[in-house]
Structure 1
Amino acid sequence: MEPKKLYRSRTNRMICGVCGGLGEYMNIDPTIIRLLLVLIAFTGAGILAYFIAAIIIPDEY
């Protein structure tokens, strides 16, 4: 069995596909990831973390 790899989703994306990719990787609804990101974004670090993840995580091929 091949190990799972984390990719930005091409099919389930709103902005860059980070939340969609995390949802697919963890087998949970990406909407839950998005809601958590909104809560974390109020600290200011969440927005920065999202864009860093968008740069680091490769796009799904």
Structure 2
Amino acid sequence: MTTSQPSPTPYKQLRRPVSDRMVAGVASGLGRYFAADPTLIRVIFATATVLTGGLASLAYPIMWFLMPEEPADAPAWPHPPGTAPGWPPVPPTAPRTDAGPPPA
């Protein structure tokens, strides 16, 4: 008799997307990984580059080289809440108690 092993729990992966990118997809990949807006990541990169006299700009090509590209068969982004692989499920919401005036 064979027993089936449960599949391992999926986890978040830092990857460069192929569809949602401006230059190489580094900011978009970081935004997806940290659940932040990619524009905010780009602003942080630009600000850090100015504040460090250009030294922070070296991080972008290094991350471009090190971050793997997302596979072509990856699911579309953004995932509905609670369905993204590697993300915890969304807890059920409690019913609203302020839905209107109390019954007369």
Q: What is the 5 A alignment of 1:29-48?
A: 29-42=37-50, 43=52, 44-48=54-58
Larger RCO, structure (CA 8 Å, separation 6 or more): 1
- Divergent runs of 4+, >3 A: none
Q: Percent identity?
A: 39
Q: Which has the higher helix share?
A: 1
Secondary structure class of the residue paired with 1:46: helix
TM superposition score normalised by structure 1:
0.91
Point out the structure with max Rg over C-alpha: 2
Q: 1:24 aligns with which of 16, 32, 41?
A: 32
Q: Specify every segment of 5 or more residues in structure 2 that has no aligned partner in the other structure, as ranges.
A: 1-8, 72-104
- The two structures, once aligned, show a CA RMSD in angstroms of 0.9
TM superposition score normalised by structure 2:
0.56
For these two proteins, the number of residue pairs brought into alignment is: 61
Structure 2 residue aligned with 1:14: 22
- The Cα of 1:53 is off from its aligned counterpart by 0.3
